[in-house]
Structure 1
Amino acid sequence: MIWPIHLPRNSVINGLAFSAEDQNAAVSITRNYGNISKWYDQIGVWNRSSGAWRPMVTASVPNGLMLGPFAGNGQSLFYWNDPMHSASILADGVPLHNLSLNGKNQVVGHTFATNQSVQPFGADRAVVWQSHSRHLFAGPKTIAIWPDATIPVSKGSVQLDPALSSSGVLAYVVGKEENNMIQSNRNVMRWMQSLKLATYNPNTHKTNIITTAGNGVMTPYFNDNGSRIVFVRQNAVMWVSATNRGPTHLIAKTGAISPSFPQYGSPNAFMIADDLAAPQH
């Protein structure tokens, strides 16, 4: 079935989001596209039966908006400011908003404009990774369970790379805050090799360092049932029990890594990690 969508003239779609079970749909558009002195973005709700598009929030000229995911109950959605459509400004993080379908708009935090920075779960909660600098080693970088909890963080530490399990347990990376570090590949690699894997249970409010994972841990995520955590360590993809028991297991070698490389390693290794880290029966 093809659903029509009726948009204003001289506009282009720049984002599309569906709520769970396609209950609601949102579309973000750029108005006056191609005229950088007059363009601006809008986010609105799309009625797929009638094709009508109803604007909910409008940026001022010449600013943009970036559409994020819906909350779990489909009654609100997340979006970011995109000042002047500037990639340079986005790189250091921008305000993240939660917009309810009844029009209530509130600022959630200051984050990178990525799906990793806001991960909805439950009916109306979300993991929010807050940051004010493009450099991972520069603080503050904290993780919160929006709207009601902040994960405890030691003074002088940064929290990175949050990942949710199917049961709502959170895995993340913790490291030392280095705001005055001279940036060089050598210094950044040394800092990365000290990072540790941690978990947080929002029900018990307890944090746990997964010591069996060792140091130099990056980009964790859970397997399907949340029993194992897959992560990168140096030049390998590995997994470890989420309960901090037993040894660390090698999944695949990824080759040399660089602090500027996306995901810190080969994306091909992540493509096979889900299968190789699946629970054994």
Structure 2
Amino acid sequence: MLTARVGVGVAPITTYSGRLIRGYLVRTNDAGASWRITGVFPNGIYPWTTAFISPEVGYVIDSTGALFTDDAGRTWSKVLTSGGPLSISVKGRVVWIPVEYCKHSAMQGPCSTHLDTYQVGALAPKSVASVPQEQPFFSQVGPVAGYAFGSGGISGKVYVTTNSGRTWRSMANPCESGQITGGSAVSLTRLFLYCGLGPTVLYSSSDGGATWQRRSESPGDGLGAAVGSSGEFLWQLNPGLWESGDGGRSWTPVSGVTYGPSGDIVTYGAHEAWHVVPGHGIYRTLNGTSWDLLK
């Protein structure tokens, strides 16, 4: 979502068997209550996530590459990446696309993770930086700053960059003797970390990882968990929806919300969130506590 009311999304048209016929770029001006088509993706392309700075200008990715539009999807340009995209984000006018780079193939390896950085409108990366761990969770918190949360074997690592990945600093964290199953950053100073191997425990930091506080035993593994901009409202699916309004200290199940196949929750602001269930509708909360189904 671009604001609490305006957002863009991807809508597929499929056969009953699930085969993709065509993908569309869609827009809402009323917080998801209604949508209209603004663009069509090239044949065979069905992006699974987006990064837009306005309803007209933004990027989309799938596992094979990235596309850019500056006219709400009426036309698309191919974007050069250094590997297969893993995710995408935008802060200000800087786009991050973490990619998986394999010298030969994903099956043959060797593979590594790169961070491709773009100025909005560019079709080639301004910089390509190596990431110290393979396929971590990324959380961009500013144009050039963000975190990589990863788990190698049974040792969870947290890295921070303030220069779009040219350098990374490893941070002490409570998952170092366990496994990171999820992580997110609200800002450069406020972080959330889910530690697994046994019951999943949620930790938070309000000083950029210098110190950590145990919040609670999490009802889920933290994969796909979402947090509002203030850090007070958190949500996750396991497989039902759970929410916290006190920074993760306690969790309450939300009745009547169906789990969608993506497991993704999109947020905007401190307490607005959306969860899409294809073929069923969109669940939405505008106050962090009560959810409505938008058909």
Q: Which structure would you say has the larger Rg?
A: 1
Query: Which structure shows the higher helix fraction?
Result: 1
